[in-house]
Structure 1
Amino acid sequence: MLIYDILPFCVQTQRLIKNTSALRFGILGAARIGPEALFKPAKTHPDVVVTAVACRDKTRGQQYAQKHDIPRTFSGPNAYHGKSLHIYAQKLVTDPDIDVVYIALPNGLHFEWTMRALEAGKHVLVEKPLTNTAEEARQIFALAEEKGLVALEALHTVFHPANHRVREIIQSGELGKVKSVVSHFIFPRFISPLFFEKDDVRFHYDLGGGSMTDLGVYPLAEIRFVTSSDTVPLEVISAKAVGHPKDPERIDRAMHIVYALPNTDATAEVNIDFSAPGWGPFGLLPRMMRIDATIKLEGGSIFIYNFVMPAAFHFIRVTPKKGSGRFEQVYTFKGGKGERSWSTYRYQLEAFVDKVRGRTPSFWHEPISSISELETVERVYTKAGMQPRPASAYKRQG
């Protein structure tokens, strides 16, 4: 059982009458994330249909397509590597009946296939992190601009109104200036196997694995977004990694990072862990899963629980030093945009389609945010004494 099998909140299964000119999505990779990140949100968007999947394994690809009602399959051995690369994945990205390519491949393949899709004239939605390096991100956005296409890193959490509400409270000045932020994204060891496979792609260096590139970008994005620091790379004061047993010199199982927030003396502390051991005598007492952030300000504090999956359940606790505190839950933008049942992915899809269609989204994750995020990730690995994730060997065609 995996995380994508046990998320109960994304119940967006009602079918709509689709627009005759709906955007036709093809997905690269028969990925576990596909149903929550694309298929379920697409069912409630009248301007989105999923029409094709490309997969390395023919049997798996066909089973995946059948399970998720995807009409077409491009699959066979070595779909993403070797001589048959162009036979399968390349056929999907160049297919004239596909408008958008959703890339759900391992991190290390994002750059190549984003570039190939853009070169083929497709809009692209790419799982986070966008690429392994900031320089690769620059090349992607430069090509998208040149081609007049939309390329978006699927950092879905920043699209949800709950996280926007935290940012709004801070920006209002109600509690004064930010003094510090502490954030956690921790999976206890006793439940880690429910979320991560034994030989998960997240544990492979060549594929861009590591806790920082997987878990770490979420609290990094939260910190930068709510403190309005999401256009510049953060200074990394310290970073301490715990190596993963599979590859302890290059893959981080856990990371403790302290960032300096720009134009202030405030700091942000982050704790992430794929498999946190227990505590107490001999580590026998299990830890709880943690997905939260605490922002301390001059006049009080703000705590948000579950900033990664706020549609499942979240709360915002505002505690001023003077006066009464309060709890908030936010599921729609001001003006009523959104639905209580919409996941972060559904808000993200709404914004993506708006952008492609030339409309103004409620929020847009700008290229500079993705680039500076990756610059920060590279700084974290360097400060922790680990190699940054490797650049792709792919070179732009033509």
Structure 2
Amino acid sequence: MAGLLGFIKRNRTLANPPAARKAEDALRFGLLGASRIGPNSVILPAKSHPGVIIAAVASRDPAKAEQYAKEHAIPKTYSGKDCYQKLVDDPAVEAIYVGLPNGLHFEWTMRALKAGKHVLVEKPCADTAAEARTLFDYAASKGLVLLEGYHYRFHPAVQRVKEIVDSGEFGKIKSMHSELAVPYLRGSIILKDDVRYDYGLGGGATMDMGVYTLSAIRYMASSNPLEITSATAAGYEKDPTRIDRGMEATYSFPSSITADTLVDLRLPSWGPFGLFPQGPKNSLTVKLEGGEVYYFGLVLPHNFHSIKVRPIKGKDRVEKYYKFKTGYGEEWWSSYRYQLEAFVDRVNGREPHDWITADESITQMEWIEKIYAKAGMPSRPTSSYVVS
């Protein structure tokens, strides 16, 4: 009963966090795009952060911009053809959140950096490794903070999993499995004409959910793969040679570690005539010499997660971590809230609790491109934006 009450209380607070009194020097954010992910990824986290104000939002659709601003109490809007550029040029805006489709990340992250803004960009930060390198090199040359939004990495739950794996309690890693998949239902959140299936906008399951599964196994192994041993795409029916609706891949890592990942934007149903939908997949399993760690809730661990530790010898145990043992954070903080805390700390010259480095982001895109190559698919198209 206590667990259920805690779940209800935590998720209620997630949806309506307490409003913090804003500091005079609070970082003023502008949002590029009136995105669906924006409320969870930055608007709600900013509400409880005394050092963040959401100052403006830009959407090419005037009605959408006004509605979004009204719904989320954002004081300033930009709309029309040049709205994104007007927002990044706004002298009152100090940081930009890029929540646009993947194919626009490189251009508008670069434009924001060129305007002297710090940037929090949704993953993936670009469509190719070369673009990612250009972004981070430019940010470093200008002394600007650039963070790719792998929010799950900032949550105490996944860091606890990493702590268990690295502790030596169960010996060395033998294999890893990470999976993220959404069942296809009528009224699904990922429809057949979703922007995730648009090649020109950097679409594909690997570019969406697949970045998390790859990131998770690299994080657990504390290394990059030696090789992608196989990659098999489930092609999107309208563009099957370029867009993956799903992807399965296997990897070899140093120290004879093997790994596999599975992602699917429309997980097929099963049974007669496909009547029975599969459940969602959202987990990471690490098998070690002396046991196994199963982590459910890889993405969105703040809603619910479970860390099941299964030793070969000894009793199983279940752990849950919504707040760091040191007292850092709050039980109801989302992974996005922890991420925002780190971003603001870095902008203000403080050492963040955790960070996604430039090298991690660039190398991540290199391996994303290798997955596509192994599956016989092209990399996502390079942006037409020319850096001057």
> TM exceeds 0.5?
yes
TM (norm. structure 2) is 0.95
Residue 126 of structure 1, aligned match among 121, 129, 141: 121
Q: Is 2:256 aligned against 1:265?
A: yes
AA of the residue aligned to 1:271: L
Q: Is 2:354 aligned against 1:363?
A: yes
Distance 1:9 1:287, change over 3 A: farther
1:352 corresponds to? 343
Deviations 1:216-242 (A, max 9, x none): 01111111112222xx46621100001
Mapped contact 2:207–2:368 kept (Cα < 8 A): yes
AA of the residue aligned to 1:100: A
Residue 140 of structure 2, aligned match among 145, 152, 164: 145
CA distance in 2, matches of 1:224, 1:96: 39
2:376 corresponds to? 385
AA of the residue aligned to 2:212: Y
SS of residue matched to 2:43: helix
CA distance in 2, matches of 1:73, 1:234: 47
Q: Is 2:283 aligned against 1:292?
A: yes
Residues 107-126 of structure 1: matches in 2 within 5 Å? 107-126=102-121
CA distance in 2, matches of 1:205, 1:234: 28
Distance 1:233 1:296, change over 3 A: closer
Q: Is 2:318 aligned against 1:327?
A: yes
Shift of 1:194: 2.9
1:249 corresponds to? 241
Alignment size in residue pairs: 378
1:225 corresponds to? 219
1:240 corresponds to? 232
Mapped contact 1:318–1:326 kept (Cα < 8 A): yes
Shift of 1:181: 0.8
Mapped contact 2:245–2:265 kept (Cα < 8 A): yes
SS of residue matched to 1:194: coil
Deviations 1:141-165 (A, max 9, x none): 1111111000000111111110000
CA distance in 2, matches of 1:387, 1:109: 18
CA distance in 1, matches of 2:167, 2:13: 31
AA of the residue aligned to 1:202: R
SS of residue matched to 1:267: strand
The unaligned stretches of length 5 or more in structure 1 are 1-6, 80-86
CA distance in 2, matches of 1:8, 1:196: 25
RMSD of Structure 2 on Structure 1 (CA): 1.3
Mapped contact 2:225–2:252 kept (Cα < 8 A): no
AA of the residue aligned to 1:141: F
Deviations 1:320-375 (A, max 9, x none): 11111111001122311011100110000000000000101110111111111100
CA distance in 1, matches of 2:226, 2:264: 21
Shift of 1:8: 6.4
SS of residue matched to 1:113: helix
Mapped contact 1:292–1:303 kept (Cα < 8 A): yes
CA distance in 1, matches of 2:326, 2:267: 41
Mapped contact 1:12–1:44 kept (Cα < 8 A): no
Mapped contact 1:234–1:376 kept (Cα < 8 A): no
Q: What fraction of aligned residue pairs are identical, expressed as a percent?
A: 51
CA distance in 2, matches of 1:299, 1:180: 12
Mapped contact 2:269–2:278 kept (Cα < 8 A): yes
SS of residue matched to 1:195: coil
Q: Is 2:216 aligned against 1:212?
A: no
Mapped contact 1:244–1:253 kept (Cα < 8 A): yes
The unaligned stretches of length 5 or more in structure 2 are 1-10
TM (norm. structure 1) is 0.92
